[in-house]
């Protein structure tokens, strides 16, 4: 493996540590004709269909790109997006996933940082999403290539080559090392500018195998993924995990389609749903009982799962566990996740096999430690402006999270290190303050930030879409549960909608701007 401490899986060869090699190994194990990929167009692809499509598309992409080049993909979760990802691997290019919800400035910065010269997208996607402004902006830094135009140029010779390559892949695949780049992703930017994360081939494959070693998965199951593939959770858990372990991946282009998704869960035969707490809660409220009751379990990441969501699913759909997990783009991304057979509410689950941890105290914060992780799933490093990679010291990644870990390595997140405020000399968790608001108004969305205070150093500000939110209600609840009064925000800003990122995470950068603007207005 790429590191000595990487998880050692039986029978894993150097070839199957690479993404395309792992796809070929899955075909050999589960059957060439097994349906493995589908989207809302309802045209399922088998392993061989996917491999042939990847080689055919890759052959055309190779005519206008260079070996090792970082080629951007700007597509939603879809069969086209998955085929494009594997097509780049088939010809030795590096998929660079663009977050089309991050805004023009961040998109252009991402392309410039990664040295992207070509962006793959689709006319249909641009038209439906009304993303013409993004295309116009990106055309100033890269060439935009539409997959519809590329497919029109796929002729008989390309199809014959693709069939031959699918039959004898070793004769057509470029030589690749497990340590070579497997994807470039950009962090969500919840607290600042996104960073370019380089994950190796082995990082991606290792994380898939770690998850599969942690939770028993059945190749007969269907994974329903409405999360974007520019987000590591959507890519690894929603695409690579099912396809490399024999499950069908059902890709859906947007988690925002609250009324359309529940009927699709039923008609697609979905076994597992990937989502965030906010979306799961909304799907559950919209769904008929038989539309989600057939799920084996739901996996949530990116944000804390509320007790209200657990209870809603249990009351309406019966025994469908909601498994909270935890990860970071830098860890490909899954670090821990609960199990269907061991689901501990309030935790983010058990540490995956093959991940080392280091806990360090944080000054002023009692009862928790800063978490560092190391393992075969942890990134090669961050992209630097000169195109090189800033590697990690000794392989350790600082998650920036304050956690408590049980003796059997189950993790509870107390909050981000930067999500603590110093008020009157005491360290107060902004996450704990948000939890107070969630407990009082569980159906609303809340975010707590800190702002400078001339007397106490910092003060807490609650931004909420709860129209009747009041400090008095928060104080009453805090007293009833024994929470310190310091954790109660004394200023509340009511908004029509709390901003979120395309990944479903709270957009704290936008919220900070809103609070700053509101503060100037008050002043």
**Tens digit of each residue's pLDDT (9 = 90 or more) over 34-58:** 999 999 999 999 999 999 999 999 9
pLDDT given for residue 472 in this prediction: 86
pLDDT given for residue 239 in this prediction: 98
Q: Residue 162: is its pLDDT beyond 50?
A: yes
Q: How far is CA 80 from CA 143, 199, 331, in A?
A: 19, 22, 26
pLDDT given for residue 481 in this prediction: 80
What confidence tier does 521 reach under pLDDT thresholds 50, 70, 90? Answer: low
pLDDT given for residue 14 in this prediction: 53
List pLDDT tens digits, range 138-149: 999 999 999 999
Helices (H), 62-121: 79-90, 104-114
pLDDT given for residue 106 in this prediction: 87
Query: CATH number of 12-205+222-232: 3.40.50.12780, 3.40.50.2000, 3.40.50.300, 3.90.1530.10?
Result: 3.40.50.12780
Cα distance between residue 12 and residue 335, in whole Å: 21
Q: Residue 1: is its pLDDT beyond 50?
A: no
Q: Residue 294: is its pLDDT beyond 70?
A: yes
Q: What is the mean pLDDT of residues 190-197?
A: 72
pTM of the predicted model as reported, rounded to 2 decimal places: 0.85
Above pLDDT 70, what percent of the chain?
Answer: 93
pLDDT given for residue 258 in this prediction: 94
What confidence tier does 73 reach under pLDDT thresholds 50, 70, 90? Answer: very high
pLDDT given for residue 459 in this prediction: 81
CA atoms within 13 A of residue 282's CA, in its CB half-sphere: 15
Q: Residue 118: is its pLDDT beyond 60?
A: yes
Residues facing residue 428 across a β-bridge? 421
| Domain range list for the chain | 12-205+222-232, 424-522
Q: What is the mean pLDDT of residues 80-108?
A: 94
Residue 5: partners with Cβ closer than 8 Å, 6 or more residues away: 354, 356, 374, 375, 376, 395
Asked which of 100-109, 251-260, 401-410, 506-515 is least confident by mean pLDDT, the reply is 506-515
Domains 12-205+222-232 and 424-522 share a fold: no
Q: What is the mean pLDDT of residues 496-511?
A: 78
List pLDDT tens digits, range 348-367: 999 999 999 999 998 877 78
**Other CB atoms within 10 Å distance of the CB of residue 513:** 12
Q: Residue 507: is its pLDDT beyond 50?
A: yes
CA torsion angle for 98, 101, 105, 110 (degrees, to 10)?
Answer: -20
DSSP letter, residue 229: T
Q: Residue 502: is its pLDDT beyond 80?
A: no
Cα distance between residue 442 and residue 469, in whole Å: 12
Q: How far apart are the first and last CA of the chain?
A: 58
pLDDT given for residue 145 in this prediction: 96
Above pLDDT 90, what percent of the chain?
Answer: 63
pLDDT given for residue 12 in this prediction: 46
DSSP letter, residue 237: I
* Burial (Cβ within 10 Å: 0-12, 13-18, ≥19) of residue 50: buried
Cα distance between residue 344 and residue 410, in whole Å: 9
Reading the block at residue 122, the tokens are 């689709």
pLDDT given for residue 438 in this prediction: 84
The overall average pLDDT reported for the chain is: 89
Nearest to 410 by CA among 343, 364, 310: 343
Angle, to 10 degrees, between the axis of helix 201-214 and the axis of helix 19-30?
Answer: 40
Residue 195 near residue 186 (C-beta atoms within 8 A): yes
pLDDT given for residue 523 in this prediction: 47
Cα distance between residue 290 and residue 293, in whole Å: 5
By three-state DSSP, how is residue 390 classified? strand
Asked which of 43-47, 64-68, 325-329, 419-423 is least confident by mean pLDDT, the reply is 419-423
List pLDDT tens digits, range 210-262: 999 999 999 999 999 999 999 999 999 999 999 999 999 999 999 999 999 99
Check: CATH 3.40.50.300 for 424-522?
no
């Amino acid at each position: 493996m790429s590191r000595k401490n990487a998880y050692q899986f039986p029978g894993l060869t150097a070839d199957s540590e690479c993404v395309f090699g792992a796809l070929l190994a899955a075909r050999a194990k589960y059957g060439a004709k097994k349906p493995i990929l589908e989207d809302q167009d309802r045209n399922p692809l088998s392993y061989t269909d996917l491999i042939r499509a990847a080689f055919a598309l890759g052959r055309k992409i190779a005519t206008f790109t260079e070996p090792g080049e970082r080629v951007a993909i700007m597509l939603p979760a879809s069969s086209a997006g998955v085929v494009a990802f594997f097509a780049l691997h088939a010809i030795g290019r590096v998929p660079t996933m663009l977050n089309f919800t991050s805004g023009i400035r961040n998109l252009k910065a991402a392309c410039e940082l990664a040295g992207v010269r070509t962006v793959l997208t689709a006319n249909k996607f641009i038209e439906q999403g009304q993303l013409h402004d993004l295309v116009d902006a990106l055309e100033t830094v890269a060439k935009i290539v539409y997959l519809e135009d590329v497919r029109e140029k796929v002729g008989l010779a390309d199809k014959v080559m693709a069939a031959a390559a699918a039959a004898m892949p070793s004769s057509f695949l470029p030589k690749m090392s497990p340590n070579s780049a497997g994807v470039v992703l950009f962090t969500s930017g919840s607290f600042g500018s996104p960073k370019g994360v380089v994950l190796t081939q082995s990082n991606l494959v290792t994380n898939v195998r770690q998850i599969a070693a942690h939770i028993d998965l059945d190749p007969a199951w269907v994974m329903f993924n409405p999360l974007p593939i520019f987000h590591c959770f959507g890519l690894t858990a929603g695409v690579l995990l099912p396809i490399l372990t024999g499950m069908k991946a059902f890709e859906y282009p947007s988690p925002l389609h609250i009324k359309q998704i529940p009927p699709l869960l039923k008609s697609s035969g979905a076994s597992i749903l990937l989502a965030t707490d906010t979306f799961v809660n909304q799907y559950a409220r919209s769904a008929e009982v038989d539309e989600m009751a057939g799920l084996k379990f739901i996996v949530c990441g990116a944000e804390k799962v509320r007790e209200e969501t657990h209870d809603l699913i249990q009351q309406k759909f019966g025994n469908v566990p909601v498994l909270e997990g935890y990860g970071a783009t830098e860890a490909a991304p899954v670090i821990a996740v609960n199990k269907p057979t061991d689901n501990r509410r309030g935790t983010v689950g058990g540490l995956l096999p093959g991940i080392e941890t280091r806990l360090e105290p944080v000054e002023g914060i009692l009862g928790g430690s800063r978490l560092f992780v190391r393992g075969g799933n942890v990134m090669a490093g961050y992209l630097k402006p000169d195109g090189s990679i800033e590697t990690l010291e000794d392989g350790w990644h600082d998650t920036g999270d304050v956690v408590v870990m049980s003796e059997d390595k189950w993790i509870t997140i107390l909050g981000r290190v930067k999500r603590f405020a110093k008020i009157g000399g005491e360290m107060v968790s902004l996450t704990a303050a948000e939890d107070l608001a969630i407990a009082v108004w569980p159906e609303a969305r809340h975010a707590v930030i800190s702002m400078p205070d001339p007397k106490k150093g910092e003060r807490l500000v609650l931004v909420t879409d709860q129209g009747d939110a009041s400090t008095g209600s928060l104080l009453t609840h805090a007293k009833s549960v024994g929470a310190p009064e310091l954790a109660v925000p004394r200023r509340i800003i009511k908004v029509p909608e709390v901003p979120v990122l395309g990944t479903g995470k709270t957009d704290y950068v936008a919220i900070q701007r809103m609070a700053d603007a509101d503060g100037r207005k008050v002043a």
